A and B are shown apart, each in its own frame.
Chain A
Amino acid sequence: ARLLHGSIFAKVIEGLRELVNEATWECSGNGITLQAMDSSHVALVSLVMRSEGFESYRCDRNMSLGISLVSMSKVLKTMGKDDSLTIRVNDDSDSIIIAMESQNQDKFADYELRLMDLDSEHLGIPDTDYSCAIKMPSSEFSRICRDMSIMGDSVLICTTKEGVKFSAKGDLGQGSIRLVQTTNIEKEEEAVIIEMKEAVALTFAVRYLSMFCKAAPLSPQVGLSLSEDTPLMCEFKIAEMGHVRFYLAPKIED
């Protein structure tokens, strides 16, 4: 699998590696997918990178590759900003080859990472018709998670027709941030758009939402999909290629 802009792949890994330290990559002719849960099984990430999004892509037989995302992140940090990236696994090999090329083809770096044997549980996530679908700038969402974490461990997300409200409370007191739906969309990337069938009010652990925001550099916009008594879906699109979707179980009153 070859990417002209290897930085896309580095951003994907950076977006996942805090939530899941290691994961099984499923490779087929259609592309690369991954599904993994965090160690407490409260959050899940689902990654899709379609073959047509790569500069070139070939997969002669389906493979499951157990990879340490922490190690891969370290290797990818050695990559130059404009480097291209090729990922290769040879038949019957116990390692993955990560090759980087500088833009003017004067530097070539190769790394081999040992593959791991991982037990992975795969959950079936049905297509869900969510009550609310919110789109907002991903930088804004990151900022809100950071700001709400000052006040508490949990953030309550409430939607109305007018907008969406995030609030948190704790020992210090409480705080809230309300975003109003953008009425005059000039730049789509900066818009806050709320599609609502029913109002929702759901509480989530802000620590996990903050981890999801590590994937924010992938996309200028984030999508949040919510329904009562259903895990939140937080989506960052990978341009022309696929997406990273995070799922998080809501907090409930005991």
Chain B
Amino acid sequence: KRHQNQLRLYYSSD
């Protein structure tokens, strides 16, 4: 099964 990551895993909030 393929899982789509959220961008928060890569970039943090300002």
Q: Which residues of A contact B (CB under 8 A)?
A: 37, 40-44, 121-126, 154, 203, 205, 230-231, 247, 249-254
Contacts and interface: CB of A to CB of B under 8 A. Distances in A.
Contact of B13 (A123, A126, A252, A254): A123
Contacts of B5: 42, 249-252
Interface in B1-14: 1-14
Nearest to A208: B4
Given A251-B5, A252-B3, A230 B10 contact: yes
B3 to A, nearest CB: 4
A41 B5 CA distance: 9
Given A42-B7, A123-B7, A253 B14 contact: no
B6 to A, nearest CB: 5
A253 B7 CA distance: 16
A247 B7 CA distance: 8
A249 B6 contact: yes
B4 A42 contact: yes
Contacts of B9: 249
A167 B14 CA distance: 35
A96 B10 CA distance: 34
A249 B14 CA distance: 18
Which 7 A-B residue pairings sit nearest by Cβ, starting from the closest? A249-B5, A123-B11, A122-B14, A254-B3, A41-B6, A124-B14, A251-B2
A253 B4 CA distance: 9
A41 B13 CA distance: 12
A82 to B, nearest CB: 38
A251 B4 CA distance: 5
B8 A41 contact: yes
Contacts of B14: 122-124
